A = this chain, B = another copy of it.
């Protein structure tokens, strides 16, 4: 088995998500990180690259794209883990040179960029993978599989929420600053940073698209330029209804993404902070808990589990599953074949849907939370 040569854009010192991507790429031993443009400052880029023991360190992503594309053993794929506003420009450079892109979410900081990137991805021969990592949790796959098999019947109601509390007060550290700066994060604050995860999770589990929404967004912390709390009502294709709450000002919530789906024949519930459990209630029967790799878990969950039930897997393993699914797709691409049918990962389409969701939220909120088409 030959490991996939990987590059990274962004993810230098102090970055949260860059380290996550690196661990995720290592867990299943499918990648080898060999090149990086880890910071927008050349000095920092060099320092970070050396600290990580990366073979080829570049001052900027364009230089890296050009040179790696020319190398005989250059990178096959690149992880883009910069702030949102740089995703488009970076991704474009690699896509046009046939290097697969694994990009953090949301896709871009503007809808215009998202649309351009969607075109770029379509024109490229390379794959585009968006790390909506929560779809990599085995029990999320289990939920999706159960919905698809009709185990809870036609869906009526979707409740999805993603509260956090880390921005309850004004914060000055790096992560807080760029994520609340519309120039770097985009027009959505909590909606962009975490609401998109909730939106994507709802789409992934239910298989339904949001047709319209009404969003009541607030920036509760004085001086904050983007929303830090969003109350959003959803209408799905086919008549299902939903509520989506995202917040960064909800004390007592660390990273409390949670989804509940109710159909004519049953209900499902999953919470990210306790990710090895999926609660299932067939209507009229006792509630039960399906565990990762345990009794009741189906193929969709077990194929991406590593250890026996009761040995908890977590955030990094879920993230790694996205990387490993991408690896399967990249290897198949390398060989000119289709990956196995069960291989799945978020694509450019999911990314565009996410940015359209942010845009719809912001438009609705500007019109006093009126209903808007997504």
Q: Could you list 8 A-B pairs, sorted by A, with CB under 8 Å?
A: A27-B316, A273-B310, A274-B274, A285-B296, A286-B288, A286-B290, A311-B314, A312-B314
- A336 contacts the other chain (CB 8 A): no
Could you say which of A26, A169, A269, A307 has the most chain B C-beta atoms within 10 Å of its C-beta?
A307
A350 CB–B CB distance under 8 Å: no
Interface size class of chain A, counting residues whose CB lies under 8 Å from the partner chain: 35 or more
Binds B, one of A100-108, A123-131, A176-184, A238-246: A238-246
Q: Given known contacts A27-B316, A254-B309, A306-B19, is B275 in contact with A286 (CB within 8 Å)?
A: no
Residue A233 at the B interface, CB < 8 A?
yes
User: A219 vs B282: C-alpha distance in the bound complex, in angstroms?
Assistant: 21
Q: What is the minimal beta-carbon distance from A344 to any residue of chain B, in angstroms?
A: 22
| 0/1 interface trace, chain A 232-264, chain B, CB 8 Å (1 if under) | 010100000111010101111111100010111
Docked-complex contact B254 and A310, CB < 8 angstroms: yes
Q: Is the CB–CB distance between A23 and B306 below 8 Å?
A: yes
Binds B, one of A74-82, A83-91, A151-159: A151-159
What residues of B have a CB within 8 angstroms of the CB of A291 in the complex? 254, 286-287
A residues with a Cβ closer than 8 A to B are: 1, 3, 16, 19-20, 22-23, 26-29, 51, 53, 152, 156-157, 159, 161, 164-166, 168-169, 214, 216, 218, 220, 229, 231, 233, 235, 241-243, 245, 247, 249-256, 260, 262-267, 269, 272-276, 279-291, 294-296, 306-317, 368-371
Q: Is the beta-carbon distance between A255 and B306 smaller than 8 angstroms?
A: no
Q: Name the residue on B nearest A244 (C-beta).
A: B243
Q: Pick from B229, B264, B296: contact of A156, CB below 8 A.
A: B229
The reply to whether B315 and A254 form a contact with Cβ atoms under 8 Å apart is no
User: In the complex, how many angstroms separate the beta carbon of A186 from the nearest chain B beta carbon?
Assistant: 21
From B29, B159, B250, B282, give the contact of A245 (CB < 8 A): B159
Residue numbers in B under 8 Å from A313 (CB-CB): 314-316
User: Chain B residues near A290 (CB, 8 Å)?
Assistant: 286
Cβ-defined contact, A216 with B235, below 8 A: yes
Distance between Cα atoms of A165 and B252 in the complex (Å) = 27
Whether B241 pairs with A216 at a CB distance below 8 angstroms is yes
User: For the complex, what is the distance from the CA of A245 to the CA of B372, rounded to whole Å?
Assistant: 21
